[in-house]
Amino acid sequence: MNFTALQKKIIVIAAIVMVAGSASVLYWYENVDTDMVAVEATAGGTATGNGTYHDGDTVTLTASADHGYTFSEWTEDGKKLSGNASITVTVHGDRCLKAVFVPIKYAVTVSENYGGAGTVSGAGTYDYNSAHTFTATTNSGYSFVGWYINGKLVSASSSFKYTVTGSAALTAKYSIVHDASFTVSESAKKAPLTLSTFSEYNVQVQTRTWTYTDAVTGSTIRTFQGSGFNATSLVFSNGEAVNITQTVTYTDGVRSTHTEKAVVDQDVTRTFTWHYQVKTWYSGLTSWFLNNREETWNQTFSYAWYYGYVSDTDIPRSCSMTAGVGYVTYDDRVIETLAASLSSLMSGHTSLEKANCILKFVQSIPYAYDTDTHSVSNYWDYPAELLYEQKGDCEDHAVLLSALYKAAGYDNVLYYVKCYDSSTGETDYHVAVGTDIPGASGTYTTYAGVKYYYCEGTATESAGIVDYSDVGDKPSGYTILGEYPVK
């Protein structure tokens, strides 16, 4: 008998038995047939019960799910066998059974800490250990901070992949942009016009205040207040420099302030009347100390031009003579035009007559102390300021006269002068001009080989009918201490 050909394993046992003096051989067979039970498990769990069994044996198979998975079913040959995690099967030949596990599905929600701060996406129900993209966009007035779960940062990126390991509530955290900046627009180029403001950011505002302030005097022009007012409009009839300030308090308690300056431009006319002297055929019939010509000019100046100098801080307003030369803005377009007009007025006359005419023009502007105009003892004005305001003290007249002379082609220096009043015994200090004029006579100093003749810019009465204080005329008691060239 060929046992190896048998599908079942058979053990043959033989024994010799003596019966009545004769030997007999007895045979019997024992069935030791075995079967294989193979147990498999999909990802997400384990299964027990795998082994070798005798045909007809009963076997208990048990499936255990890993974290994040749940048992689904037992299958055999692709067919569902049972939905129970623990089952008993009877061995009847080799068998292959599979424990099937599936991931648990978890809900992931998304939200934002400020309603309207942005748009969040990615919420859904997802398999355990699966990765999904969550995205947050940001609206104006907010900044994205990060994605948080239970108050802990999980990503600082607005778009990121999150691996699901359980139910989760993702919060897109935003911060408020604490920025009170705004834009300013004008309805026209010159006054009258309307200034309009519009705030750049208008979210989470608790209170808001707009303040319009005169940039020169500091006085308040108008205030708007409330949680609204993200835009304002105000009409201006005259030239004015305005500081516009927006102060915003946000719902998180933070305060932000921003200021913009707007210059409302306007063409302003100033009138200048002065007398000066020229030689004529009848000069011999009149006293030489009379001014025989009179001029009245209406000069138009831009407020924006004027304010550009008012707000200039390049040179200290209380400065030395060396620094004060910087106030002589002879290359300013308005000064150049005015100097050309004065020169044209004196066309055909001598350089000395032209210089005296310009001197009388400056002398015609009223004198005013710095303590009255600026509430300080020393304050240098630019020529633009003296022309626009039509009042100033000695250094203001001096820098205007110097600028006009230089623009007209006459080199000059600033004089630092000591003044002594013999009647009171008082001493003071003064600023005047020395200019290089052909044909001049009188008081002069020589600087770098050039004669500069004294010119007194503050002799306001000399611009009237009676002529005195021309080029070369220095008042008594005045001593020139130094020259400061205008380059």
Q: Are 23 and 17 in contact (CB under 8 A)?
A: yes
Separation CA 309–CA 382 (nearest Å): 7
Whose tokens are 């009379």? That residue is 290
Specify the pLDDT at position 199.
96
The CA-based dihedral angle spanning residues 303, 305, 308, 314, taken in that order and rounded to the nearest 10 degrees: -150
Specify the pLDDT at position 15.
46
Residue-wise DSSP of 98-165: EEEEEEPEEEEEEEESSTTSEEEE--EEEETT-EEEEEEEE-TTEEEEEEEETTEEEESSSEEEEE--
The answer to pTM > 0.95 is no
Specify the pLDDT at position 279.
65
Closest C-alpha to 402, from 298, 478, 310, 327: 327
Whose tokens are 């230089």? That residue is 406
Specify the pLDDT at position 282.
47
Burial of 424 (0-12, 13-18, 19+ CB in 10 A): exposed
Q: Are 142 and 114 in contact (CB under 8 A)?
A: yes
Specify the pLDDT at position 18.
52
Q: Are 437 and 443 in contact (CB under 8 A)?
A: no
Separation CA 485–CA 75 (nearest Å): 108
Cβ-proximal residues to 229 (8 Å cutoff; 6+ apart), any chain: 208, 210
Cβ-proximal residues to 171 (8 Å cutoff; 6+ apart), any chain: 110, 111, 112, 113, 147, 148, 149
Q: Which CATH architecture has domain 182-265?
A: Sandwich (2.60)
Specify the pLDDT at position 468.
81
The CATH fold of domain 268-485: C8orf32 fold (3.10.620)
Mean pLDDT by 10 residues, the chain (487 residues): 37 48 52 84 96 95 98 96 97 96 98 96 98 98 98 98 98 98 97 96 96 96 91 96 97 97 97 84 53 90 97 94 97 97 93 95 96 95 98 98 98 97 90 97 97 94 79 95 97
Whose tokens are 């919060």? That residue is 171
Report CA Rg, the chain.
52
Specify the pLDDT at position 425.
86
Q: Are 455 and 390 in contact (CB under 8 A)?
A: no
According to DSSP H, which parts of 274-382 are helical? 303-310, 321-324, 333-345, 351-363, 370-373
